[in-house]
Amino acid sequence: MGQQTVKRPAYYAPVGSRAGDLVAVLHPPYTAWHLSHVAIGAALAPQIDWQILAATLLAFFFGTGIAAHALDERHGRPLHTALSDRVLTLLAVAGFVGALAVAMIGALELSPWVMVWAVIGVVLAAGYALERPRVLHTTLGFALAWGGFPVLVGYWAQARTITIGAAAVAAAATLISMTQRTLSTPARYLRRNTESAEMIISRGQHEERWNDERILATWERPLRLLALAMVTLAVGLVVSRAMAP
């Protein structure tokens, strides 16, 4: 019998230690991808206020990078971490409190509408993690909440309005996020719900066997490249704006 490799619940999840569990819950590549949408939205604005951009990124990191991901792990244990329900609850509460605290400062300094965006964001993040309402846990629901919404907020925080151009970029981010979930769904299923898998490809007399690792690569390699591409795009746009005369 061949040696069976224990699959990680996600390719970026170094579970097995407390530090590894915490890293896994943060979903680093997807959190960075999500935050890149905020930066892309901000880069579309006529002018960038760097303090506002930093605050917007911080609020989304608290609300989605920490709170929503911790709540998602507590709700269904998709990553199979050893973190207790208490720790995950504390992370979720701390994340949402941090996001709302940043929003309250923004409401005082900029506009009361900041709190409206913040409440919508908390509802979307918590609703997706808890799968309530169910529509938020669909491919489209995920894409709108984690793709289109941060682009619109990133732009609005800078320009205090929404333009057709910003809406079009938000639609593109939504489609890209739909691609993300379309690729990640079968990869997650294979990693978390099967002990092993094999695909046999027959071409005439030739037979080729694909193991778990090769099958996963067909989904996860594009995901890695897309995450890197979106972060690189966001950095490029923001740096270009910073260097513009």
Note the pLDDT tens digit of each residue in 46-56. Answer: 999 999 999 99
Q: What are the beta bridge partners of residue 62?
A: none
Segments forming the whole domain that contains residue 40: 18-243
pLDDT at 192: 86
Please indicate, yes or no, if residue 217 is contained in any of the structural domains: yes
Please indicate, yes or no, if residue 4 is contained in any of the structural domains: no
Would you say the pTM of this structure is higher than 0.85?
A: yes
Residue 119 above 60 pLDDT? Answer: yes
pLDDT at 3: 42
pLDDT at 4: 47
Please indicate, yes or no, if residue 109 is contained in any of the structural domains: yes
Residue 38 above 90 pLDDT? Answer: yes
Residue 99, CB half-sphere, CA atoms under 13 Å: how many?
A: 28
Distance CA 195, CA 139 (A): 26
Distance CA 53, CA 33 (A): 16
pLDDT at 6: 57
Please indicate, yes or no, if residue 13 is contained in any of the structural domains: no
Please indicate, yes or no, if residue 213 is contained in any of the structural domains: yes
Residue 2 above 60 pLDDT? Answer: no
**Does residue 158 contact residue 53 with C-beta atoms inside 8 Å?**
yes
Please indicate, yes or no, if residue 32 is contained in any of the structural domains: yes
The phi and psi torsions of 195 (rounded to 5 degrees) equal -80, -35
Among 25-34, 89-98, 191-200, where is mean pLDDT lowest?
191-200
Question: Where does the pLDDT of residue 5 fall: very low under 50, low under 70, confident under 90, or very high at 90 and above?
Answer: low
Number of domains in the chain: 1
Nearest to 67 by CA among 101, 37, 97: 97
With a pLDDT cut of 70, the percent of the chain lying above it is 97
